[in-house]
Protein backbone atom coordinates (compact mmCIF):
# COMPACT_ATOMS: atom_id res chain seq x y z
CA UNK A 1 0.00 0.00 0.00
CA UNK A 2 1.45 3.41 -0.95
CA UNK A 3 2.45 5.58 1.98
CA UNK A 4 2.03 9.29 1.30
CA UNK A 5 2.42 10.47 4.88
CA UNK A 6 4.03 13.90 4.98
CA UNK A 7 3.94 14.39 1.20
CA UNK A 8 2.65 17.72 -0.12
CA UNK A 9 0.15 17.24 -2.93
CA UNK A 10 -1.81 19.53 -5.23
CA UNK A 11 -4.79 17.82 -6.88
CA UNK A 12 -6.36 19.97 -9.59
CA UNK A 13 -10.09 19.75 -10.41
CA UNK A 14 -10.73 17.85 -7.19
CA UNK A 15 -14.27 18.91 -6.32
CA UNK A 16 -15.80 15.91 -8.08
CA UNK A 17 -15.12 12.85 -10.20
CA UNK A 18 -11.64 11.43 -10.59
CA UNK A 19 -9.94 14.44 -8.99
CA UNK A 20 -12.05 14.09 -5.86
CA UNK A 21 -11.34 10.36 -5.67
CA UNK A 22 -7.60 11.01 -5.95
CA UNK A 23 -7.71 13.69 -3.25
CA UNK A 24 -9.63 11.35 -0.95
CA UNK A 25 -7.08 8.58 -1.50
CA UNK A 26 -4.16 10.93 -0.83
CA UNK A 27 -5.81 12.18 2.37
CA UNK A 28 -6.40 8.61 3.50
CA UNK A 29 -2.72 7.85 2.99
CA UNK A 30 -1.64 10.81 5.12
CA UNK A 31 -0.65 13.41 2.53
CA UNK A 32 -1.09 17.15 2.92
CA UNK A 33 -3.60 17.87 0.16
CA UNK A 34 -4.55 21.10 -1.57
CA UNK A 35 -7.95 20.75 -3.21
CA UNK A 36 -8.61 23.02 -6.17
CA UNK A 37 -11.49 23.81 -8.52
CA UNK A 38 -13.99 26.54 -9.36
CA UNK A 39 -16.63 25.13 -6.98
CA UNK A 40 -15.86 26.71 -3.61
CA UNK A 41 -18.89 25.21 -1.87
CA UNK A 42 -18.00 21.66 -2.86
CA UNK A 43 -14.33 22.16 -2.00
CA UNK A 44 -15.24 23.36 1.48
CA UNK A 45 -17.57 20.39 2.01
CA UNK A 46 -14.87 17.91 1.01
CA UNK A 47 -12.25 19.65 3.14
CA UNK A 48 -14.50 19.60 6.19
CA UNK A 49 -15.22 15.91 5.65
CA UNK A 50 -11.62 14.81 5.07
CA UNK A 51 -9.69 16.97 7.55
CA UNK A 52 -10.85 15.31 10.82
CA UNK A 53 -9.95 11.82 9.56
CA UNK A 54 -6.60 12.52 7.89
CA UNK A 55 -3.10 12.62 9.35
CA UNK A 56 -2.28 15.30 6.81
CA UNK A 57 -3.47 18.87 6.44
CA UNK A 58 -6.33 19.37 3.97
CA UNK A 59 -6.89 22.80 2.43
CA UNK A 60 -8.60 24.21 -0.64
CA UNK A 61 -8.19 27.04 -3.10
CA UNK A 62 -10.51 28.28 -5.82
CA UNK A 63 -9.03 27.96 -9.30
CA UNK A 64 -10.31 28.23 -12.85
CA UNK A 65 -7.62 26.36 -14.78
CA UNK A 66 -8.27 28.43 -17.89
CA UNK A 67 -7.16 31.53 -15.96
CA UNK A 68 -3.38 32.04 -15.72
CA UNK A 69 -3.70 34.30 -12.66
CA UNK A 70 -5.78 31.68 -10.82
CA UNK A 71 -3.17 29.03 -11.62
CA UNK A 72 -0.35 31.15 -10.25
CA UNK A 73 -2.34 31.82 -7.07
CA UNK A 74 -3.17 28.12 -6.66
CA UNK A 75 0.46 27.04 -6.76
CA UNK A 76 1.56 29.92 -4.52
CA UNK A 77 -1.11 29.03 -1.95
CA UNK A 78 0.01 25.40 -1.97
CA UNK A 79 3.67 26.25 -1.46
CA UNK A 80 2.90 28.72 1.31
CA UNK A 81 0.61 26.23 3.07
CA UNK A 82 2.77 23.12 2.90
CA UNK A 83 6.26 23.93 1.66
CA UNK A 84 7.85 22.40 -1.46
CA UNK A 85 5.44 20.40 -3.57
CA UNK A 86 6.03 16.64 -3.77
CA UNK A 87 3.09 15.63 -5.94
CA UNK A 88 1.25 17.46 -8.70
CA UNK A 89 -1.85 15.87 -10.20
CA UNK A 90 -2.96 17.72 -13.32
CA UNK A 91 -6.61 17.24 -14.11
CA UNK A 92 -9.42 19.09 -15.90
CA UNK A 93 -13.00 18.46 -16.90
CA UNK A 94 -13.68 17.14 -20.34
CA UNK A 95 -14.50 19.47 -23.27
CA UNK A 96 -17.88 19.38 -25.02
CA UNK A 97 -18.79 16.33 -27.06
CA UNK A 98 -19.15 16.68 -30.83
CA UNK A 99 -17.66 15.96 -34.24
CA UNK A 100 -15.31 18.06 -36.37
CA UNK A 101 -18.17 19.79 -38.15
CA UNK A 102 -19.75 20.78 -34.84
CA UNK A 103 -16.75 22.74 -33.62
CA UNK A 104 -15.98 26.43 -34.12
CA UNK A 105 -12.66 28.21 -33.60
CA UNK A 106 -13.93 29.23 -30.18
CA UNK A 107 -14.59 25.58 -29.27
CA UNK A 108 -11.07 24.61 -30.35
CA UNK A 109 -9.49 27.49 -28.43
CA UNK A 110 -11.51 26.68 -25.31
CA UNK A 111 -10.61 23.00 -25.52
CA UNK A 112 -6.93 23.84 -25.87
CA UNK A 113 -6.99 26.17 -22.86
CA UNK A 114 -8.88 23.68 -20.69
CA UNK A 115 -7.22 20.41 -21.55
CA UNK A 116 -3.66 21.19 -22.61
CA UNK A 117 -2.58 24.78 -21.95
CA UNK A 118 -3.80 24.50 -18.34
CA UNK A 119 -1.41 21.57 -17.74
CA UNK A 120 1.46 23.50 -19.30
CA UNK A 121 0.80 26.56 -17.16
CA UNK A 122 0.42 24.58 -13.93
CA UNK A 123 3.63 22.64 -14.51
CA UNK A 124 5.49 25.87 -15.28
CA UNK A 125 4.35 27.43 -12.01
CA UNK A 126 5.01 24.28 -9.95
CA UNK A 127 8.40 23.41 -11.44
CA UNK A 128 10.61 25.42 -9.03
CA UNK A 129 8.96 23.72 -6.07
CA UNK A 130 9.09 20.26 -7.67
CA UNK A 131 12.80 20.73 -8.38
CA UNK A 132 13.40 21.15 -4.65
CA UNK A 133 11.65 17.91 -3.77
CA UNK A 134 12.39 15.74 -6.79
CA UNK A 135 8.65 15.31 -7.03
CA UNK A 136 6.09 13.50 -9.14
CA UNK A 137 3.87 14.90 -11.90
CA UNK A 138 0.85 12.82 -12.84
CA UNK A 139 -1.18 14.01 -15.80
CA UNK A 140 -4.73 12.70 -16.09
CA UNK A 141 -5.79 12.08 -19.69
CA UNK A 142 -8.28 9.67 -21.30
CA UNK A 143 -8.30 6.27 -22.98
CA UNK A 144 -8.48 8.31 -26.21
CA UNK A 145 -4.68 8.57 -26.03
CA UNK A 146 -4.68 5.00 -27.38
CA UNK A 147 -7.94 4.82 -29.29
CA UNK A 148 -9.99 7.85 -30.41
CA UNK A 149 -13.51 7.97 -28.99
CA UNK A 150 -16.26 8.72 -31.54
CA UNK A 151 -17.92 12.08 -30.99
CA UNK A 152 -15.16 13.47 -28.76
CA UNK A 153 -12.84 15.15 -31.25
CA UNK A 154 -11.69 17.88 -28.85
CA UNK A 155 -10.77 15.38 -26.15
CA UNK A 156 -9.14 13.04 -28.68
CA UNK A 157 -6.94 15.87 -29.94
CA UNK A 158 -5.86 17.57 -26.74
CA UNK A 159 -5.57 14.47 -24.53
CA UNK A 160 -3.14 13.08 -27.09
CA UNK A 161 -1.15 16.30 -26.72
CA UNK A 162 -0.76 15.51 -23.03
CA UNK A 163 1.16 12.37 -23.97
CA UNK A 164 3.64 14.32 -26.09
CA UNK A 165 4.05 16.82 -23.25
CA UNK A 166 4.51 14.15 -20.58
CA UNK A 167 6.96 12.08 -22.60
CA UNK A 168 9.09 15.13 -23.37
CA UNK A 169 9.05 16.45 -19.81
CA UNK A 170 10.02 13.04 -18.43
CA UNK A 171 13.29 13.41 -20.34
CA UNK A 172 13.83 17.10 -19.63
CA UNK A 173 13.03 16.82 -15.92
CA UNK A 174 14.95 13.60 -15.21
CA UNK A 175 18.05 15.55 -14.08
CA UNK A 176 15.88 17.10 -11.37
CA UNK A 177 14.71 13.62 -10.23
CA UNK A 178 11.15 14.56 -11.24
CA UNK A 179 9.08 11.64 -12.55
CA UNK A 180 6.32 12.41 -15.07
CA UNK A 181 3.59 9.91 -15.95
CA UNK A 182 0.15 9.89 -17.51
CA UNK A 183 -2.87 7.96 -16.27
CA UNK A 184 -5.78 7.48 -18.64
CA UNK A 185 -9.26 6.40 -17.51
CA UNK A 186 -11.62 4.32 -19.57
CA UNK A 187 -15.25 4.02 -18.52
CA UNK A 188 -15.02 5.04 -14.87
CA UNK A 189 -18.33 5.64 -13.09
CA UNK A 190 -18.23 9.44 -12.79
CA UNK A 191 -20.73 12.17 -13.62
CA UNK A 192 -18.77 12.92 -16.82
CA UNK A 193 -19.29 9.37 -18.10
CA UNK A 194 -22.96 9.47 -17.17
CA UNK A 195 -23.33 12.70 -19.16
CA UNK A 196 -21.71 11.10 -22.20
CA UNK A 197 -23.98 8.07 -21.86
CA UNK A 198 -27.00 10.38 -21.70
CA UNK A 199 -25.89 12.13 -24.89
CA UNK A 200 -25.56 8.78 -26.67
CA UNK A 201 -28.92 7.64 -25.31
CA UNK A 202 -30.62 10.74 -26.69
CA UNK A 203 -28.98 10.31 -30.11
CA UNK A 204 -30.05 6.66 -30.30
CA UNK A 205 -33.45 7.26 -28.67
CA UNK A 206 -32.73 4.56 -26.12
CA UNK A 207 -32.89 4.40 -22.31
CA UNK A 208 -29.54 5.25 -20.71
CA UNK A 209 -29.53 1.81 -19.07
CA UNK A 210 -29.53 0.19 -22.50
CA UNK A 211 -26.61 2.34 -23.65
CA UNK A 212 -24.67 1.48 -20.51
CA UNK A 213 -25.37 -2.22 -21.00
CA UNK A 214 -23.95 -2.09 -24.53
CA UNK A 215 -20.87 -0.17 -23.33
CA UNK A 216 -20.21 -2.67 -20.54
CA UNK A 217 -20.32 -5.52 -23.05
CA UNK A 218 -17.35 -3.89 -24.82
CA UNK A 219 -15.27 -4.03 -21.63
CA UNK A 220 -13.67 -7.43 -20.86
CA UNK A 221 -14.42 -7.01 -17.14
CA UNK A 222 -18.07 -6.24 -18.04
CA UNK A 223 -18.42 -3.24 -15.76
CA UNK A 224 -17.45 0.38 -15.34
CA UNK A 225 -14.52 1.07 -13.03
CA UNK A 226 -14.94 2.80 -9.70
CA UNK A 227 -13.21 6.15 -9.09
CA UNK A 228 -11.42 4.59 -6.12
CA UNK A 229 -9.83 1.99 -8.40
CA UNK A 230 -8.47 4.73 -10.61
CA UNK A 231 -7.20 6.68 -7.60
CA UNK A 232 -5.28 3.62 -6.36
CA UNK A 233 -3.13 3.65 -9.51
CA UNK A 234 -2.43 7.37 -9.18
CA UNK A 235 -1.50 6.94 -5.51
CA UNK A 236 1.08 4.28 -6.39
CA UNK A 237 2.68 6.49 -9.02
CA UNK A 238 2.77 9.38 -6.55
CA UNK A 239 4.38 7.34 -3.79
CA UNK A 240 8.01 6.49 -3.04
CA UNK A 241 7.25 2.97 -4.24
CA UNK A 242 7.45 4.39 -7.73
CA UNK A 243 11.11 5.29 -8.10
CA UNK A 244 11.89 4.27 -11.69
CA UNK A 245 8.76 4.69 -13.80
CA UNK A 246 8.65 7.90 -15.82
CA UNK A 247 7.47 8.92 -19.27
CA UNK A 248 4.89 6.14 -19.26
CA UNK A 249 1.15 6.07 -19.89
CA UNK A 250 -1.15 3.82 -17.89
CA UNK A 251 -4.65 2.80 -18.93
CA UNK A 252 -7.21 2.11 -16.21
CA UNK A 253 -9.95 0.76 -18.44
CA UNK A 254 -10.81 -2.83 -17.55
CA UNK A 255 -9.15 -3.99 -20.78
CA UNK A 256 -11.49 -1.95 -23.00
CA UNK A 257 -8.85 -0.51 -25.35
CA UNK A 258 -7.72 -3.14 -27.84
CA UNK A 259 -4.68 -1.37 -29.29
CA UNK A 260 -1.17 -2.48 -28.31
pLDDT over 90, % of the chain: 97
State pTM to two decimals.
0.95
Query: What's the 3-state SS for 4-25?
Result: CCCCEEEEECCCCHHHHHHHHH
Ramachandran region, residue 224 (left: φ > 0; alpha: ψ -120 to 50; beta: rest): beta
Distance, in Å, from the CA atom of 156 to the CA atom of 134, rounded to the nearest integer, reads: 31
The reported pLDDT for the residue numbered 157 is 98
Reported as a single tens digit per residue, the pLDDT across 85-137 is 999 999 999 999 999 999 999 999 999 999 999 999 999 999 999 999 999 99
By the 8 A CB rule, do 176 and 1 touch? no
The reported pLDDT for the residue numbered 90 is 98
The reported pLDDT for the residue numbered 2 is 74
Instruction: Tell me which architecture the domain covering 8-187+226-252 has in CATH.
Output: 3-Layer(aba) Sandwich (3.40)
Looking at the DSSP bridge assignments, the partners of residue 34 are 10, 59
How large is the angle between the packed helices 191-204 and 208-217, nearest 10 degrees?
A: 110
How is the chain split into domains, by residue range? 8-187+226-252, 190-224
User: Per-residue pLDDT for 1 more than 70?
Assistant: no
Distance, in Å, from the CA atom of 35 to the CA atom of 108, rounded to the nearest integer, reads: 28
User: Per-residue pLDDT for 54 more than 80?
Assistant: yes
Average pLDDT, the chain: 96
Q: What is the mean pLDDT of residues 150-176?
A: 97
The reported pLDDT for the residue numbered 260 is 81
By the 8 A CB rule, do 78 and 87 touch? no
The reported pLDDT for the residue numbered 28 is 96
Distance, in Å, from the CA atom of 110 to the CA atom of 219, rounded to the nearest integer, reads: 31
Amino acid sequence: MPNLKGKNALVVASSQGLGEAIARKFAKEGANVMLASRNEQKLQMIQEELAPNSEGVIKWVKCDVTNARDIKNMVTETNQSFGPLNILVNNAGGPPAGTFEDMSDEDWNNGFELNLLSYIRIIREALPSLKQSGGKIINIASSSIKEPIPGLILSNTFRTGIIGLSKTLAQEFAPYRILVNTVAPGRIATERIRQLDEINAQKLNLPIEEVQKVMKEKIPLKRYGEPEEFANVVAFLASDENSYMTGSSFLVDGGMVKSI
